[in-house]
């Protein structure tokens, strides 16, 4: 199926969703809970009518829905949401989704240089969650996430300068972002509330997300307008699609301690199947929301053999992050994230990554930015510098990337609660070492072009996403 045919189909799929969501009830775009909602007991609230009370958190009867992140991660309570909601008997249903139609030009100011590429593509994802109460203290949550990236991102993915970490047809993907699997999430979670302050959650995903890092980039409000995956993805949140996850989490008031057992190997190149679960890796994470505008976490993971091309390399990954969200008025909010990640493998020094991003939405216009510092070695980039006697020397390169962008919400499709249509564009500049700018010397005794001085990349896009809901 050609991309020109598929992108309208994605739009039609999103446009059809509000008809389902409004069959019984309408969503609540204006309902807000007090800023200290997280400290109030929600356990006695009835969910019989969507007009009476909002859903609770996916993994706690006593936390607000707006704290939901990806997997079992937390976001700030003042995080605005984009979704449809529906009530079916004892079940509360949520539908999320976003789809881009995009033209991107990478390293456009260096024609013929490394990483120079142009493409029309369409990153996308769709998610549904179902939640119901079980008895006086239980909460059951089911979730499904799907993506048609494999159809809209051909030949191994979309061009993205300095992106690494995956493989396709036995070759590493360099300067490309891989597509996500058709089944990107399929999970079940059960939470038992001992009291309004203490609950215990068991979570199983195939695929799912272990307790590693912050909320994954595609679910962070701070990253929502940006169609590109972060260059630091494989330092912080690359485990968001893992085929085989089991997590236990204990919450006490505004703290939650989690432990996960999961499959270390990342999804293979076959995007329409289910990979073999291995249960060979582990992670632990501490979450803390000190107030309604902040979500903090620190995590550490042992990841066994994550890369198919390097099966003997195991990774120790450590992350820490601060997420901030604050909303005021109608569709006015700011959401920001500061994320650090470190990968350590045997025989190599630690490699660090830092991400800082923000999303300022003022009604229809949105202004956003992302800065990243990432350390990538010669093996990842397949880029070696010339050493003595014309030999090649491996090194670690410091890559700095700054993205500035803006988007504008044009309209909604199919009625006031239809998907929102926006247009936008962004520009990214890269500050890189001189050694990456000139010709490289790679294994096999050949020279190749470098990236040039101050590479630039740009994208223009249209975006469809679920309608806005104020933080609850």
The 10s digit of each residue's pLDDT in 347-369 is: 888 999 999 999 999 999 999 99
Task: Kindly list the structural domains of the chain, giving each domain's residue range(s) and its CATH number in brackets, ordered by start.
Answer: 3-469 (2.40.160.10)
> Is 396 exposed, middle or buried, given 0-12, 13-18 or 19+ CB atoms closer than 10 A?
middle
CA neighbor of 14 nearest in space, from 122, 87, 174? 122
Q: State the CB neighbour count (10 A cutoff) for residue 207.
A: 25
Predicted local distance difference test score (pLDDT) of residue 296: 99
Comparing 105-109, 283-287, 467-471, the range with the smallest average pLDDT is: 467-471
- The whole-number average pLDDT for the span 173-191 is 97
Give the angle subtended at the CA of 120 by the CAs of 114 and 122, to the nearest 5°: 115
Predicted local distance difference test score (pLDDT) of residue 277: 97
Tell me the two tokens of residue 366: 């949105």
- Strands 245-252 and 198-205 turn out to be antiparallel
Residue 42's pLDDT band, with cuts at 50, 70 and 90, is: very low
Predicted local distance difference test score (pLDDT) of residue 54: 60
156, 173 contact by CB (below 8 A):
yes
Count of alpha carbons within 13 angstroms of residue 471, beta-carbon side? 29
Q: What integer best gives the mean pLDDT of the chain?
A: 89
| Distance (Å, whole) CA 114 – CA 241 | 29
CA neighbor of 432 nearest in space, from 43, 252, 162? 162
Predicted local distance difference test score (pLDDT) of residue 47: 36
DSSP 3-state assignment of 177? strand
Residue 34's pLDDT band, with cuts at 50, 70 and 90, is: very low
Predicted local distance difference test score (pLDDT) of residue 14: 58
Residues in Cβ contact with 352 at an 8 Å cutoff, skipping those fewer than 6 apart: 235, 340, 341, 342, 373, 374, 375
| Distance (Å, whole) CA 256 – CA 67 | 13
- What is the separation of C-alpha 100 from the centre of its chain, rounded to a whole number of angstroms? 15
Residues in Cβ contact with 430 at an 8 Å cutoff, skipping those fewer than 6 apart: 161, 162, 399, 400, 401, 451, 454, 455, 456, 457
Per-residue pLDDT of 58-113, as tens digits, reads 999 999 999 999 999 999 999 999 999 999 999 999 999 999 999 999 999 999 99
| Distance (Å, whole) CA 332 – CA 362 | 5
Predicted local distance difference test score (pLDDT) of residue 358: 99
58, 71 contact by CB (below 8 A):
no
pLDDT at residue 453 tops 70: yes
Residue 353, Ramachandran bin (φ over 0: left; ψ between -120 and 50: alpha; else beta): beta
pLDDT at residue 33 tops 50: no
- Strands 117-121 and 124-134 turn out to be unpaired
pLDDT at residue 337 tops 50: yes
355, 370 contact by CB (below 8 A):
yes
131: β partners: 92, 141
- The whole-number average pLDDT for the span 274-281 is 96
- Strands 315-327 and 183-193 turn out to be unpaired
pLDDT at residue 21 tops 90: no
Which backbone phi and psi does 36 adopt, to 5 degrees? -100, 30
Residue 151, Ramachandran bin (φ over 0: left; ψ between -120 and 50: alpha; else beta): alpha
Residues in Cβ contact with 270 at an 8 Å cutoff, skipping those fewer than 6 apart: none
Note every long-range contact of 443-448, with CB atoms under 8 Å and residues 24 or more positions apart, other chains counting: 443/384, 443/392, 448/114
Per-residue pLDDT of 139-178, as tens digits, reads 999 999 999 999 998 778 999 999 998 999 889 999 999 9
Residue 26's pLDDT band, with cuts at 50, 70 and 90, is: very low
| Distance (Å, whole) CA 148 – CA 261 | 28
Residues in Cβ contact with 253 at an 8 Å cutoff, skipping those fewer than 6 apart: 39, 197
294: β partners: 324
pTM over 0.85: yes
Per-residue pLDDT of 213-249, as tens digits, reads 999 999 999 999 999 999 999 999 999 999 999 999 9
Which backbone phi and psi does 397 adopt, to 5 degrees? -105, 135
The pLDDT > 70 percentage for the chain reads 87
């Amino acid at each position: 199926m050609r991309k020109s045919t598929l992108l309208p189909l994605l739009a039609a799929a999103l446009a059809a969703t509000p008809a389902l969501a409004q069959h019984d009830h309408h969503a609540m775009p204006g309902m807000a809970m007090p800023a200290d909602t997280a400290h109030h007991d929600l356990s006695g609230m009835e969910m019989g009518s969507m007009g009476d009370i909002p859903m609770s958190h996916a993994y706690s009867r006593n936390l607000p829905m707006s704290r939901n992140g990806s997997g079992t991660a937390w976001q700030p309570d003042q995080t605005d949401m984009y979704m449809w909601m529906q009530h079916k008997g004892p079940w509360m249903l949520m539908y999320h989704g976003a789809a881009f139609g995009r033209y991107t030009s990478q390293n456009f100011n260096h024609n013929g240089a490394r990483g120079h590429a142009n493409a029309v593509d369409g990153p996308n994802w769709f998610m549904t969650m179902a939640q119901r109460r079980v008895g006086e203290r239980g909460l059951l949550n089911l979730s499904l996430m799907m993506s048609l990236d494999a159809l809209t991102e051909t030949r191994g993915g979309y061009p993205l300068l300095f992106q690494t970490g995956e493989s396709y047809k036995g070759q590493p993907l360099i300067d490309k972002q891989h597509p996500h699997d058709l089944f990107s999430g399929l999970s079940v979670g059960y939470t038992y509330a001992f009291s309004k302050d203490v609950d215990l959650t068991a979570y199983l995903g195939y695929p799912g997300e272990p307790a590693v890092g912050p909320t994954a980039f595609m679910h962070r409000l701070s990253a929502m307008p940006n169609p590109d995956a972060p260059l630091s993805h494989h330092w912080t949140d690359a485990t968001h699609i893992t085929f085989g996850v089991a997590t236990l989490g204990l919450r006490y008031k505004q703290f939650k301690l989690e432990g996960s057992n999961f499959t270390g190997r990342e999804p293979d190149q076959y995007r329409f199947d289910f990979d073999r679960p291995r249960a060979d890796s582990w992670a632990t994470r501490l979450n803390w929301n000190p107030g309604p505008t902040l979500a903090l976490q620190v995590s550490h993971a042992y990841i066994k053999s994550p890369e198919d091309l390097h099966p003997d390399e195991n990774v120790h990954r450590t992350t820490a992050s601060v997420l901030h969200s604050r909303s005021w008025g109608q569709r006015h909010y700011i959401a920001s994230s500061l994320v650090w990640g470190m990968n350590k493998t045997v025989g190599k020094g630690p490699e660090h990554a830092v991400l800082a991003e923000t999303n300022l939405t003022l009604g229809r216009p949105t202004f956003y930015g992302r800065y990243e510092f990432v350390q990538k070695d010669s093996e990842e980039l397949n880029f070696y510098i010339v050493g003595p006697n014309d030999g090649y020397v491996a090194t670690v390169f410091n890559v700095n990337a700054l993205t500035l962008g803006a988007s504008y919400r044009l309209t909604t499709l199919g009625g006031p609660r239809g998907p929102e249509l926006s247009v936008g564009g962004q520009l990214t500049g890269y500050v890189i070492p001189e050694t990456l700018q000139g010709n490289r010397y790679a294994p096999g005794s050949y020279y190749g072009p470098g990236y040039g001085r101050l590479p630039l990349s740009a994208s223009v896009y249209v975006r469809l996403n679920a309608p806005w809901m104020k933080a609850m």
